[in-house]
Structure 1
Amino acid sequence: MKKTLISLAAVALTSLTGMAQAQTVLTVSSWVPPTHGLSVAQKEWCDALTARTSNRVRCNILPRAVTPPVGTYDAIRNGLADVSFTVHGYTPGRFVLTQMVEFPFMGDRAEPLSVAFNRVASKYPEFAAEHQGVKVLGYFTHGPGIVFNTKRPITRVEDLAGMKFRVGGGMVNEIAKNLDMNVTLKPAPESYELLSTGVMDGTLFPAESTDSFKIDKVIKHATTFPGGLYNTSFVFMMNPAKYNSLSAEDKKAVDELSGDAVASRFGKSWDRVDDIALGNMQKNGVKLIKADAAFISGVTIRVSKLERDWAQAAKAKGVKDPSRMLAEFRAEVAKLQNQK
């Protein structure tokens, strides 16, 4: 009997110890479905953090977002949630330097783009200055941007004129305007309703989004570009007060899973679902068109001023040599792509 009581006491103590170790719960929000590559990558990061901290830190992933996409940055800053991600372009005018990664023809895969972005952004303190109020866990991008539409094949710059396109904001908005596209800034989750009802004729997305936002049966035509017509910059972030409340050991775990590691994680997730979506497009009869040299040249001529405008804006943000920083990013992308 005595041994039994001792055994029961030991079990109870072990249970209580385990409960005590799970001392920090991170409230995690996502504005895309749980099956979306972004949500999947975020959950993988959470699971890795729980394992790395021996269950001292775990995530409570909410069933729905605490705010619409455009409010995510402020939701994390104000502590409405502890961890999430957002598109920089969803708040026009707020972020300038991150537009560096959004120009045309930057890269064919999200992982090297994301890691290169994180490396260069982490090197320049001006990026951190643009993200005051949050703890940046990593910067990343999606895969190469594609022109999707429900109306007709697009094989030259002139075909874009007058058609109504949904875009997410940021540099893609400026690119579209310079290509004479009629654009409206709307969050990605609204795409199906906009396209299926004919309010919009098309959208600019990476391949993955045709599956994630259920527009794979609505889209009829897709025009791809080497390196993408554009890319979109994201930030994965944590509420700084929550981060500061962690022990030194747990902060170290967060840091080790962040930076290049988190950029690679999100980039790989994009690439995986991009490949699946491209296959599904072919099954669904979407007409895929590869932009030819004349089309690429036409785009290049029309958007060339955007890099100069960005460089001036980046200087105003304190970057001494924006052109050099952009060249560093391109060189890092090329190096990482050649390693694959």
Structure 2
Amino acid sequence: MPLSHALRSLALAGLVAVAAQASAQVTLTMSSWVPPTHTLTETQKAWCEMLAQKAAGKVRCNQLPRAVVAAPGTFDAVRNGLVDLSFTVHGYTPGRFVTTQLAEFPFLGDSAEANSVAFQRIYQKTPAMQEEHKGVKVIAVFTHGPGIVFNTKRPITKVEDLSGLKFRVGGGMVNEISKALGMNVTLKPAPESYELLSTGVMDGTLFPAESIEGFKLDKVVKYATRFPGGLYNTSFVFMMNENTYNNLPADVKKIVDEMSGEFAARMIGRGWDKVDTRGMAFMQAAGVQFTMADAAFVNAVKQRTAGLEDAWAKAAEAKGMKDPKKALADFRAEIKKLQ
């Protein structure tokens, strides 16, 4: 064979090999309903890029420029294959997720990483929790940092100060906590907070520390009340479309599994702790006035919310969860070990 023909054949073979490699590469589409700079968007992207690196190019990630659906529709968007990877707040779809409210009670802990890893450990040994997520591949369940009460009107130093103000909440157990405290609350997704507060439709919102910077609320929020361990928490799920996961090459699925569970929960929680710390400094620079709830305030909250654990346990049992109160006690014990 002439040299020119041989070189041409080699070049053609190389192109075929490259084309075959490209066609074999899986593209994972990712959707986020929070801003591009939010810790959830950034951590989701970092997780997927780490997967791509570990999978030696068999997978690539495509962060979509905007959310494929509004936040409450995210679980179904992933389950139905509209997007491959995303996350959602369990409480955004009232009544759908009950067992996960275990992670949303008052005074659980001051670290998103500890809470998230503990939550993931309980999830892994609780079939009823897994059943509520049927239809998706759960990468991890996790929580944000301790919940704070923010408002635009006045300092809140006692439980009675909460009445007469209108608050945005994200749903789930925080809704029940707020009602027990006599708060006037409306269920709305986090991205709507700026418009609600800036227009005066709402007087306040319940968020972790990072959210004032994350949702650009520093110009409207004036007052913040913190609680040891947080007034509440919010449970999330980070998930992949089940068919997408099942169709991955076996070695890539193994890597996904290795990067799921505690690995992902710790990664997301650690990222949230970092931005919570930054958020506190950001709010102090913005002039937000802080109040730390004293023992009398904490005790008043405990008294008013005392019945919520029994009500949740009953609802969780109805969803097939065995001994919910023991699971909650185990969850708290895991947080103490991890903090």
- TM-score interval for Structure 1 and Structure 2 normalised by the shorter chain: over 0.9
Say if 2:124 is the partner of 1:122: yes
TM-score when normalising by structure 2: 0.96
Residue 156 of structure 1 aligns with which residue? 158
Correspondence 1:15 to 2:22: no
Tell me the equivalent position of 1:295: 297
**Counterpart of 1:70?**
72
1:8 CA displacement? 4.4
With 316-325 and 185-194 compared, the bigger mean Cα shift is at 316-325
Inter-partner Cα distance in structure 1 for 2:84 and 2:294: 45
Which residue is equivalent to 1:146?
A: 148
Deviations 1:49-100 (A, max 9, x none): 1011111112221100110001001111111111100000000011110000
- The CA distance in 1 between the partners of 2:203 and 2:53, in whole Å, is 46
2: CA distance between counterparts of 1:132 and 1:16? 36
1:248 aligned onto 2:247: no
Any unmatched runs of 5+ in structure 2?
none
| Alignment map for 1:1-340 (pairs within 5 Å) | 8=11, 12=15, 15-16=18-19, 18-22=21-25, 24-337=26-339
Kindly report structure 1 stretches of 4+ aligned residues shifted beyond 6 Å: none
AA partner of residue 215 (structure 1): L
* Counterpart residue identity of residue 309, structure 1: A
1:262-289: per-residue Cα shift (whole Å, max 9, x none)? 1011101111111111001111110011
Give me the whole-angstrom Cα distance separating, in 1, the residues matched to 2:336 and 2:21: 47
> Letter of the aligned partner of 2:196 in structure 1?
L
| CA contact 1:21–1:55 (8 Å) conserved in 2 | no
Is the CA contact 1:21–1:54 (under 8 Å) kept in the aligned structure 2? no
Partners of 1:179 and 1:219 in 2: CA distance? 21
Taking the aligned partners of 1:191 and 1:321, their CA distance within structure 2 comes to: 37
**Structure 1 residue 216, shift from structure 2 partner:** 1.2
**1:195 CA drift (Å):** 0.4
Alpha-carbon RMSD across the aligned residues, in angstroms, is 1.4
Q: Structure 1 CA distance, aligned partners of 2:15 and 2:247?
A: 28
> Aligned AA for 2:107?
F
Please state how far the C-alpha of 1:16 moved relative to its aligned partner: 3.4
Q: Which runs of 5+ in 1 are unaligned?
A: none
* Contact kept? 2:167, 2:206, Cα under 8 Å: yes
| Contact persistence 2:129–2:321 (CA under 8 A) | no
Q: CA offsets, 1:193-216, max 9 Å, x none?
A: 100111100000001110111101
Q: Distance in 2 between matches of 1:19 and 1:134?
A: 27
d(CA) in 1 for partners of 2:53 and 2:105?
Answer: 38
Q: Residue 312 of structure 2: SS of its match in structure 1? A: helix
| TM-score normalized with structure 1 length | 0.96
